[in-house]
Amino acid sequence: MAQLVKEGKLTSEEAELLRTHTVLPDKIANNLIENQISETETPLGLARNFVINQKEREIPMATEEPSVIAAASNAAKIIGRAGGFTTKTFERTMMGQIVLRQVTDFSAVKAVLEEHRLSLFAAAERAYPSIYQRGGGLRSLQWRSFEADGYLSIDLQVDVQDAMGANIVNTMAEGIAQEIRQLLSESEILFSILSNYADHSLVEASCRVPLKMIGAEVAERIAAAAEYAKLDPYRAATHNKGIMNGIDAVVLATGNDTRAVAASVHAYAAKDGEYRGLTDWEIVDDTLIGRLRIPIAIGIVGGATKVLPKAQLSLKLLGVETAEELAEIIVAVGLAQNFAAVRALVTDGIQKGHMALQSRSLAITAGATEQEIPLVVKRLKRAKQMNLAEAADILRELRK
Ligand code: NDP
């Protein structure tokens, strides 16, 4: 930090602010990342009204975006009155890849791998014995070839129990790669690494909203908006961003890896060769049925989940005992977020609700004090324009 001041990149007051405005003990912050200079702040809120598999849940959400938590809570209230969310996990393994290049005789390589299948499984166990003691471990080994380009991917599916599993899978993949090196001297191992496309960790949340609760026309418009998001990638990206507003916030609150989840979800959105909206909303008889099925790679142990004190508190508030339970809650939040966003979009438009909450941020940005914020917000809501210039004008008026 002293160096930054010396180089004129920060004043000493700014450096002091970065140094002192922190809450994590040095032991944690310094060891989680490299070159740590401070911490960033993201508000942690609580979404209410969620009923998931007949159980009420408080949902901690870390987000800087106004209206996300209000929208989730509101959607959960409506869906809760209609019986809440139902979730299921299809399977839960994480994939690793050992990629060979310059393969010429694919049949010969595959024959060697097949012949030594048992020793590859044994190498996996030697590489990460503790996950076996916890009931997990390597579940399957398969290969996919890219013959025209000379590549072969050896795919491992690993039961990582309650961890997200990136490190577990990486360690295991390297252990198996070591064994393969002895068997296939002429093929070169290019790399061994987890795949973030967790399509063997698919989780589904669904809900049923009687048409009389929201109106048949609104329901029909929601279904049409979901259909359109499957046709047009320009809309799909925004549709899915709305889903991720909820998902990311819970993933972040629980100390999980937001990038891993985002990579997986967006890869899944493009699984048909075209990037598509991820939710399905359809009307069956007198009910609007919503469904979100996506891969979710998260854990309740490992990574930062156990290290960050507030991640632990978030997990406590959620009351989850397994990674599977957490993944299911996350998908239900994604579905709620989508319901709220699409419903707003096809009725009042998103801006009305969004900007009402955005007004608080605008008031703060304009420099309003705690006492002035509600006054500025009130006037902003009546103003023709809701933007920073307007907020600043209102504040000037108030202070006259
Ligand atoms: P860890 O390396 O922390 O491994 C999980 C740990 O949890 C192990 O030490 C394990 O102990 C312990 N554990 C305790 N109870 C259980 C249980 N019930 N089930 C499973 N493990 C248990 O984390 P992960 O392997 O989950 O990796 C996640 C981290 O890796 C994240 O921080 C992520 O950001 C990062 N990462 C992500 C990558 C990616 O997404 N591409 C790449 C590389 C890293 P024991 O050893 O005794 O079994």
- Tens of pLDDT along 168-212? 999 999 999 999 999 987 678 999 999 999 999 999 999 999 999
Using 70 as the pLDDT threshold, list the residues of the chain that sit under it: 186, 350-357
Domain 93-194 has CATH 3.30.70.420: yes
Q: CB of 159 within 8 A of CB of 93?
A: yes
Task: Check if 84 has its Cβ closer than 6 Å to any atom of ligand 1.
Answer: no
Considering the candidates 9, 212, 241, 316, report the single residue annotated as catalytic: 241
Q: CB of 164 within 8 A of CB of 297?
A: yes
Task: Check if 260 has its Cβ closer than 6 Å to any atom of ligand 1.
Answer: yes
Q: Which helix (H) or strand (E) holds 343?
A: helix 323-346
Residue 353's pLDDT is what? 63
Residue from 28, 132, 134, 305 to probe ligand 1 pocket by mutation (most atoms less than 8 Å from CB): 134
Task: Check if 301 has its Cβ closer than 6 Å to any atom of ligand 1.
Answer: yes
Based on the number of CB atoms within 10 Å of its own CB, is 296 exposed (0-12), middle (13-18) or buried (19 or more)?
buried
Residue ranges per structural domain of the chain: 42-89+203-347, 93-194, 352-399
Rounded distance from Cα 168 to ligand 1 centre (Å) = 6
Is 257 part of the annotated catalytic residue set?
A: yes
Task: Check if 165 has its Cβ closer than 6 Å to any atom of ligand 1.
Answer: yes
Task: Check if 134 has its Cβ closer than 6 Å to any atom of ligand 1.
Answer: yes
ipTM of this predicted structure: 0.97
The Cα 3–Cα 252 span in angstroms is: 31
Structure tokens belonging to residue 180 = 């393969």
Task: Check if 161 has its Cβ closer than 6 Å to any atom of ligand 1.
Answer: yes
Structure tokens belonging to residue 273 = 């060769």
Is 88 part of the annotated catalytic residue set?
A: no
For domain 352-399, which architecture applies? Orthogonal Bundle (1.10)
Is 6 part of the annotated catalytic residue set?
A: no
Residue from 158, 164, 324 to probe ligand 1 pocket by mutation (most atoms less than 8 Å from CB): 164
Residue 369's pLDDT is what? 87
Residue 357's pLDDT is what? 66
Residue 379's pLDDT is what? 86
Q: Enter the pTM of the model.
A: 0.91
What is the DSSP annotation of 177-220? HHHHHHH-TTSEEEEEEE-S--TTSEEEEEEEEEHHHH-HHHHH
Longest dimension (CA), the chain: 85
Residue 356's pLDDT is what? 66
Is 115 part of the annotated catalytic residue set?
A: no
Residue nearest to atom 23 of ligand 1 (CA): 302
CATH topology of domain 42-89+203-347: 3.90.770
Residue 372's pLDDT is what? 87
Residue 30's pLDDT is what? 84
The Cα 154–Cα 151 span in angstroms is: 10
